[in-house]
Chains A and B, each alone.
Chain A
Amino acid sequence: MTLTAFTADASSALAGPLWLATRRAGAWERFAAGSLPQEAEEVWRYSGIDRFDLSSFGPVQRPDRAPGPDLEVGRALAQPLGSRAALVVTYNGAIVGVESEPSVADDQLSVTSVLSNSDAPAGLGELAPAHDAFGELHDAFLADVVHVVVAKKAVLRDPVIVVHLVDRAAASGSAAAFPRSLVHVGPSAEAGVIELYASVGAPDTTGAADADHRAPPVLVIPVTELEVEDDAHLGYANLQVLDQACTELAVQASRVGRNSTLRSFTVSLGGGYARVRTDSDLIGQGGHTALLAAYLGTDKQVHDFRTLQDHHAPRTESELLFEGAVADEARSVYSGLIHIRNGAHGARAFQTNHNLVLSEGAHADSVPNLDIEENDVRCSHASTVGPIDEDQRYYLESRGISPAVAERLIVLGFFSDLANRAPFPGVGPWVENAVSHRLAGRLPSDRVEPATQDANDG
């Protein structure tokens, strides 16, 4: 491994109990002995990872700052998402504060830091072991874990909202953050978790309007593990609006038990390069996952999704729908695998990826795959890459709607179709609003000469 600001000393300087220090040290050794992944590896195909330069980044020392302002920012960011059972705010991976709603009983929901735990929390690293050097780096510099435990049979009306703030100003020059969440939903429980990743100390927390490419780069490696026990239900949203100086390499791993459901909704709007690896294990008979994602790239953003729907048990079902748009010179990659294991008879798995290409310079790659070891299963995959549908545009225009408005309606409609299926009522409008802001000035017709626009056209 080349020389970088990530060192054994920097790792061991992090605060925490013995088990965490030991865990970090082990990860550091594996990281130091290994090498970064390369594009030649199938899971990194199209990613551009060969151009990644780790020496641009460095670990962040725990900042000596008052939590008040960060909590305030977290509350403000969480507010549009609706009511909540608890709010957690992290700053570059360290937990700044946890606020539980008084209406939620302590024996129903526990949301804690793990820094005062004498032992590692059960299940940590089980669903998302370090897959590569980035995973080891995450484990070596892990500041804390947002640990959410929903008690057996507890039914929570509102989600836990976790706001992860990422700040480059904390470091001299570049920075890195390693947010971590571990969610455990007990048997017959019902709960929801929303994670929001946003930049602070940056000109634009929506990650778009005036991307400052000269800003020092920030590496963000978030890992989330979702364990859903038998007869339980979890709604999960992962909303990423980091600024474009951020390189994000995220892992979301879930395991769903017997007759349980996971409804997951990922939204990637920010990041210069933003990758999300989604691993979904269905280990109990009758388990069900719905994995949805929406992404929108502008400027030179790259959004990169790798998904695995892994069916271990009979009569399990997974539905995946990833939809996104690329404008300007943005790029997206979708690569997904449905794996039906021997013994998972009666499994049903669907995988759909639709891409809207909004400009000549934009590009989308879509690679669906199936690996089926069992008969008596129903699987399908579908994928499209293309411009705005001409028939849809003509239909709207034949009603007197200008090309600019027609395109905006169609693209927003494309996202709102997906947003309407978000697992939380507050998330759909949040997505529509965020996408609408991001699209301003980005559609082909926005570049039409003003002279050809009708005077009535608002």
Chain B
Amino acid sequence: MTATANSAHQLVVEGLRAGVTSREVLAGIDLEVRSGEVHAVMGPNGSGKSTLAHVLMGRPGYQVLGGSVTLDGHDLLALPAWQRARLGLFLAPQYPTEIPGVGLQELLAEALAATGQASVAGSGDGSATDRAAAEAVRVGLETKLLDRPVNMDLSGGERKRSETLQLAVLRPHIAILDELDSGLDVDGLRDVAHRVRAGVDEWGLGVLAITHYQRLLSVLRPDVVHVLVGGRIVASGGPDMAEELERTGYAQYITPGDVVADARPVRRPGFTDPI
């Protein structure tokens, strides 16, 4: 399951339509991300970017209304999130979740075991602890934070460094980065972007980077930039396109009545506050 630079992996999205409570947010998405490629997805607020990230990863609460998503030929839409992850998909969410009492090292050890990577003795990869310590230095996360429960009491920037660290330790085939640059200062942005780009070069990581800003992309060096408006990819182009969008905005791509608000799923009921 560990990627090697030679094996090519491919995430293929065809005609993907999806939404929340039967409101269509993604209105037909076509994308192909291969090993070693960096794709950027840019678009105005509410265009469906986060929905795309979560539908690809398999977050409960979204309804797929049509189309297909495959990773190396496996039908992802038929699988729960954990099985998609085991096939090599990774999501760095925009808002990483706090998990009280569960250590980051513990999460990484379980995740490596789950993907069959931890039991590979003598591979030179080392244990979760060794890998995490090495990656902490590369992404600029204080080593002492590795012993903290996942995301607990971390700043926005530390969380994004932690996401990048997890990506680097787990070495997925394809990573979806949902606004990895939000919450980061200039130094943090540089550290995480360099680490992701190094993954592309080291083990052929394929990247789907959702962002508002060109700054992340100047380090990630996307091969393709897609513009997502109203749940559709309305334009795709080369790296220059990101700079152009930074200057001109999305006005030229928006037609009246086109914008569909992005949406989050409704939380499952069962939470009661008796006060």
Asked if A401 contacts B272 (CB within 8 A), the reply is no
On whether A384 and B271 interact (CB within 8 A), knowing A394-B59, A397-B85, the answer reads yes
| Chain B residue with Cβ nearest A367 | B274
Question: Are the C-beta atoms of A398 and B101 separated by less than 8 Å?
Answer: no
Evaluate contact between B83 and A454: CB separation under 8 angstroms: yes
**Chain B interface helix/strand/loop/mixed:** loop
**Shortest distance between the CB of A432 and any CB in chain B (Å):** 9
Question: Would A400 and B268 count as touching, CB distance under 8 A?
Answer: no
Whether A366 pairs with B114 at a CB distance below 8 angstroms is: no
The reply to whether B60 and A409 contact each other, CB–CB distance below 8 Å, is no
A366 and B274 in contact, given A390-B267, A396-B99, A400-B82 (Cβ under 8 angstroms): yes
Query: Which residues between 356 and 385 of chain A lie within 8 Å of chain B, taking CB atoms?
Result: 357, 365-368, 381-385
B140 at the A interface (CB under 8 A): no
Q: Which of A88-108 contact B (CB under 8 A)?
A: none
Stretch of A113-121, A190-198, A412-420 on the interface side:
A412-420
- Say whether A346 faces chain B, with CB atoms less than 8 Å apart: no
Complex Cα gap A160–B22 (Å): 62
Min CB–CB distance A296 → chain B (angstroms): 14
A395 within 8 Å of B (CB atoms): yes
Assess A395 versus B99: contact at CB under 8 Å? Given A357-B270, A400-B114.
yes
CB-based contact B275/A406 at 8 Å: no
Residues of chain B within 8 A of A402, CB atoms compared = 82, 114
Bits for A426-458, please: 1 = Cβ < 8 Å to B, else 0: 000000000000000000000000000010111
A124 within 8 A of B: no
Bound form: Cα–Cα A132–B142 in Å: 56
Residue A55 is within 8 A (CB to CB) of chain B in the complex: no
B115:A392 contact, CB within 8 angstroms: no
Contact string against A for B residues 88-102, beta-carbon threshold 8 Å, 1 for contact and 0 otherwise: 001101001111111
Contact B100 A401 (CB under 8 A): no
B111 at the interface (CB under 8 A from A): yes
- Chain A residues lying within 8 Å of B96, measured Cβ to Cβ, are 395
> Chain A residues near B101 (CB, 8 Å)?
412-418, 420
Q: Are B85 and A400 in contact (CB under 8 A)?
A: yes
Instruction: Bin the interface of chain A by size.
Output: 35 or more
Across-interface contacts of A409 in B (CB, < 8 A): 99, 102, 106-107, 110
CB atoms of B274 and A399 under 8 A apart: no
Smallest CB separation, B166 vs chain A (Å)? 7
B170–A399 touching, CB < 8 Å: yes
Query: Which residues in A have their C-beta under 8 angstroms from that of B270?
Result: 357, 386-387
A403 vs B273: C-alpha distance in the bound complex, in angstroms? 26
Query: A410 contacts the other chain (Cβ, under 8 Å)?
Result: yes
B168 at the interface (CB under 8 A from A): no
Q: Tell me, in angstroms, the Cα distance from A418 to B110 when the chains sit together.
A: 22
Q: What 0/1 readout, one digit per residue, does chain A (279-305) give for beta carbons within 8 Å of chain B?
A: 000000000000000000000000000
Q: For chain B residues 100-137, which have a beta carbon within 8 Å of chain A? A: 100-102, 106-107, 110-111, 113-116
A residues in contact with B107, CB < 8 Å: 396, 399, 401, 409
- With a CB–CB cut-off of 8 A, which chain A residues contact B188? none
**Measured CA separation A227–B107 after assembly (Å):** 43
A-B contact count (CB 8 A): 120
A391 beta carbon closer than 8 Å to chain B: yes
**In the complex, B149 has a CB within 8 A of chain A:** yes
Q: Is the CB of B268 within 8 A of A454?
A: no
With A397-B81, A406-B82: A456-B114 Cβ-Cβ less than 8 Å: yes
Is A405 an interface residue when CB atoms closer than 8 A count as contact? yes
Chain B residues positioned under 8 Å from A391 (CB to CB): 97
Contact with B along A170-191 (1 / 0, CB 8 A): 0000000000000000000000
Within 8 Å CB of A420, what residues of B? 101
Measured between C-beta atoms, what is the minimum distance from A422 to chain B in Å?
A: 13
- A401→B111 CA distance, assembly (Å): 5
B60 with A387: CB separation less than 8 A: no
A454/B114 contact (C-beta < 8 A), A357-B270, A384-B271, A414-B101 known: yes
Q: Is B190 an interface residue (CB 8 A)?
A: no
Docked pose: A383 CA to B272 CA in angstroms: 9
Inter-chain contact A413/B114, CB cutoff 8 Å: no
Residues of B with C-beta under 8 A to A385: 271-274
Pair A399/B99 contact, Cβ less than 8 Å: no
Give min CB distance, B234 to chain A, whole Å.
28
A383 and B102 alpha carbons, distance in the complex (Å): 22
A39 to B61, CA, bound (A): 42
**Would B149 and A413 count as touching, CB distance under 8 A?**
yes
Whether the Cβ atoms of B114 and A457 lie closer than 8 Å is yes
Interchain CB contact under 8 A, B114 and A401: yes
Taking the closest CB of chain B, its distance from the CB of A371, in whole angstroms, is: 15
Q: Which residues of B contact A367 (CB under 8 A)?
A: 274
The answer to whether A403 and B274 touch (CB under 8 A), given A390-B60, A390-B268, A395-B96, is no
- With A394-B59, A400-B82, A456-B114 as known contacts, state yes or no: A413 contacts B99, CB within 8 Å: yes
Pairwise interchain contact A398-B110, C-beta atoms closer than 8 A: no
Decide if B150 is an interface residue (CB 8 Å cutoff): yes
- Chain B residues in 8 Å Cβ range of A366: 274
Residue of B nearest to A393 (CB): B60
Contact in complex: A368, B97 (CB < 8 Å): no
Distance between B57 CB and nearest chain A CB, rounded to angstroms: 5
Known: A390-B267, A401-B111, A457-B114. A383 touches B275 (CB 8 A): yes
A412 — which chain B residues lie within 8 A by C-beta? 101-102
Residue of B nearest to A411 (CB): B101
Contact residue among A365, A384, A394 (Cβ-Cβ distance under 8 Å from B273): A384
Q: Which residues of B contact A386 (CB under 8 A)?
A: 270-272
Instruction: Give 1 or 0 for each of B54-90: 1 = CB within 8 Å of chain A CB.
Output: 0001111100000000000000000011111110001
Give bound CA distance, A418 to B91, whole Å: 30
Question: What are 6 of the A-B contact pairs (CB < 8 Å)?
Answer: A386-B271, A398-B57, A398-B82, A401-B85, A413-B99, A417-B100
Give the A-binding residues of B (Cβ under 8 A). 57-61, 80-86, 90-91, 93, 96-102, 106-107, 110-111, 113-116, 149-150, 166, 170, 267-268, 270-275
20 more CB-based (< 8 A) A-B contacts, given A387-B271, A400-B82: A381-B275, A387-B268, A396-B107, A397-B80, A397-B85, A398-B93, A399-B90, A399-B111, A399-B166, A401-B82, A401-B85, A401-B107, A403-B82, A409-B102, A410-B102, A412-B101, A412-B102, A413-B100, A414-B101, A456-B116
